[in-house]
Amino acid sequence: MNAALTNSIKPSLDLSQFSAQELKEALNRIENKKNEERDAYKKLVAETIPKALSRLHETSEMMRNAKTETFQLFETILDLKNQVYGFKEKQMSHTFSNDKEEITIGYRINEGWDDTVTIGIEKVQNYISSLSTSKETASLVKIVFNLLKKDAKGNLKGSRVLELQKLTKEFNNEEFTDGVEIIASSFKPIRSSWFIEASRIDENGVRTNIPLSMSSVDFLQGYAFNFFNQQNEQNHAA
């Protein structure tokens, strides 16, 4: 059969002029071509992944080395700062700057609580609920309930514990104080990651952050990844 038949089969074509065997062979050719194209696509993906992964691995190692070297440099400076000022700071981050640059190093934490936190919350709520809603106590009651509000993950915010502790003097109640102490002792923060933030400062004092993660680094100038934009346009047009 002429190979032109494979490319000429269209809905408007009179198929009665071809034998059943010719039609079968033409359909087989179309199917084989489709499978070959899909195999070629899979082969291209398999060949491309190692190339990209190798480059990303190199970049990851460069970032790891830069992060380590930066912390090592400022560890020496922090030791000197403690000696010069005779005071060892305990904050989670340290910022260093000159007229044109600024660098912050430190660590982040994930706030965690043990199972006793619910007992503390209930004791505080029981006492607060028992108060009469007089003008003198209404504002304090509102403050406490706001401090006990949980976030989207169902957890208290660690920063609110200190505010609750301050209120123990206002209420001067054993049950309330005990509840707050239980909440405070159940707070179990966990260090999650060490970070570096860096920025340049122009002559007007405006800071421009230096992107230090894959999600914040821009593509090289002149390149734009437009695939998703094209896909969205096609979806809207459909």
**83 in the same domain as 134:** no
Task: Among 168, 185, 202, identify where a domain stops.
Answer: 185
**144 in the same domain as 86:** no
In a domain, 4, yes or no: yes
In a domain, 214, yes or no: no
In a domain, 201, yes or no: no
pLDDT at 221 over 50: yes
For residues 10 and 19, the model is more confident at 19
CA separation for the pair 158, 190 (Å, rounded): 12
Using one digit for the tens of pLDDT, what is the confidence trace for 80-116?
Answer: 998 999 887 778 899 999 999 999 998 888 888 999 9
**142 in the same domain as 86:** no
24-46: average pLDDT: 89
pLDDT at 168 over 80: yes
- For residue 99, the SS3 value is coil
Between CA 152 and CA 162, with CA 157 as vertex, the angle to 5 degrees is 160
Mean pLDDT of the chain: 84
**Whole-Å CA distances, 212 to 1, 44, 52, 126:** 62, 31, 19, 48
| pLDDT confidence band for 9 (50 / 70 / 90) | very low
Q: In the prediction, which pLDDT does 186 show?
A: 94
Which structure tokens are listed for 39? 């195999």
Q: In the prediction, which pLDDT does 11 show?
A: 53
**132 in the same domain as 64:** no
| pLDDT confidence band for 1 (50 / 70 / 90) | very low
In a domain, 64, yes or no: yes
**72 in the same domain as 4:** yes
**47 in the same domain as 127:** no
pLDDT at 20 over 50: yes
Task: Among 48, 75, 90, identify where a domain stops.
Answer: 90
Question: What's the number of domains the chain is made of?
Answer: 2
In a domain, 167, yes or no: yes
**122 in the same domain as 82:** no
**80 in the same domain as 23:** yes
CA separation for the pair 44, 71 (Å, rounded): 41
For residues 223 and 44, the model is more confident at 44
Work out the percent of the chain whose per-residue pLDDT is above 70.
84
In a domain, 217, yes or no: no
- Residue 127 contacts residue 171 (beta carbons within 8 Å): yes
In a domain, 68, yes or no: yes
**26 in the same domain as 67:** yes
In a domain, 230, yes or no: no
**123 in the same domain as 86:** no
| pLDDT confidence band for 119 (50 / 70 / 90) | very high
**124 in the same domain as 61:** no
Residue-number span of the structural domain to which 135 is assigned: 117-185
Task: Among 90, 108, 141, identify where a domain stops.
Answer: 90
Q: Where are the beta strands (DSSP E) in 64-124?
A: 93-97, 101-110
pLDDT at 160 over 50: yes
**56 in the same domain as 124:** no
Using one digit for the tens of pLDDT, what is the confidence trace for 57-84?
Answer: 999 899 888 999 999 999 989 889 989 9
